[in-house]
Amino acid sequence: MKRYLALALSVVMMAVAAGCGGSTGGSNGKLTEVKLATISPLSGGQASLGVAIKNGAELAIKDREKDLTAAGYKVVFQPQDDEAKPEVGTQIAQRLAADKGFVGVVGTLNTGVAKGIAPVLHREGGGLVMISPANTGVVMTESGWTNYNRIVFRDDYQGPAGARYAAQVLKAKVAYVMHDKTDYGKALADEFAKEFAKQGGTVAATVGVDAQKADYGPEATQAMAKNPDLIYFGGIYDTAGPLFKQVRAKGFKGAFMGGDGLDSADLVKLGGDAAENTYFTSVSADYKSGDGKAFFDKYKAAYKDDPAAYALYGYDSMNVILENLIQYGKKNSGKVPDRAEFAKQVRATKNFKAISSTVSFDAKGDNPSSKVFVFKIESGKSVDKGAAPEK
């Protein structure tokens, strides 16, 4: 009798254990726990943009919580700080690749960091999905990484657009081109220089400067010797601010110009009055009406600050992952997505209505609907000057 009782208890315990098992899918009434991450600089000189990406992505997860629950998922959000350093980003990628709980990543800010992360997630991570809200380096979608996509334009689109604006709208004749020697900055500067020459302008020189130096006096003197009417800088605001200040101190009265790396309120904080008459190209973010204004208000209420440049793109990038995750969960009873299968699904995204654009990915992972807009610093504020010329 005792033997039969023990056997009966054993069967009951096995049944209870099976019923309590989490992370096995929605079919047993339990939510499957999955992890999502952002990778961006949360500390250091570029933190304002990196934190904006993280905050935007976090808001997207909160907004889709009910839909995720209905699809069988509980999301654990784990933002990662890459410090804008490639070696740190690669270490993070290795950790995420090894943790099978991660199903998607939003990041990075910097192309130079992403170059080390994307192949690790592709190779060691079995195709762990990555969507960038900020990478513009051409190499990212020319390397065959099927897990990598982006919602923003490429440098070979952004740089020439800036050059056309400089030549056609600003009527610049002589441009002195500088960059911060990073993958992003140099590629952007080179693309600008090529198109500016095609537009009939003169490129006085293309030179690299060390990021975050204390003294740019020699570089400023060299630039002034060429007597340019426009100085183009490929790089990030934390280098541009001090550099512009020291070039102005040497007597430069013309316009500065750069890419989306200058799209931060910290450019004015670091450059002061020297940042006036600076133009930069970026993805348009309309916070004046409709969904853009709703996002602006929601972000400010949550984080007690205006959204910085990439907050909206962090939100949109995460929403693309979430929409695909929700659809996957509905079809597969809330199971943890197979990484390679999920990467294929995300790459096939078509006509997803985000705030910044209608997102579709082509065969390489680019979003053809992204456009280039021009902004100008006026009285310490960035003012939308409309779309850059397309030809």
Reported as a single tens digit per residue, the pLDDT across 123-172 is: 999 999 999 999 999 999 999 999 999 999 999 999 999 999 999 999 99
CA–CA distances in Å: residue 113 to residues 40, 116, 191, 335 = 9, 6, 20, 31
Q: What is the mean pLDDT of residues 112-121?
A: 97
Mean pLDDT of 8-18: 38
According to CATH, the topology of domain 31-153+287-359 is Rossmann fold (3.40.50)
Half-sphere exposure of 292 (CA within 13 A, CB side): 10
- Residue 11 has what pLDDT? 38
308 close to 48: Cβ distance less than 8 angstroms: yes
- The reply to whether the predicted model has a pTM over 0.85 is no
The structural domains of the chain, with segments of one domain joined by +, span 31-153+287-359, 156-282+373-387
Q: What is the CATH number of domain 156-282+373-387?
A: 3.40.50.2300
Residues in the chain, total: 391
Measured in degrees and rounded to the nearest 5, phi and psi for residue 359 equal -90, 125
Which pLDDT tens digit goes with each residue over 261-290?
A: 999 999 999 999 999 999 999 976 667 778
Confirm whether 31-153+287-359 and 156-282+373-387 share one CATH topology: yes
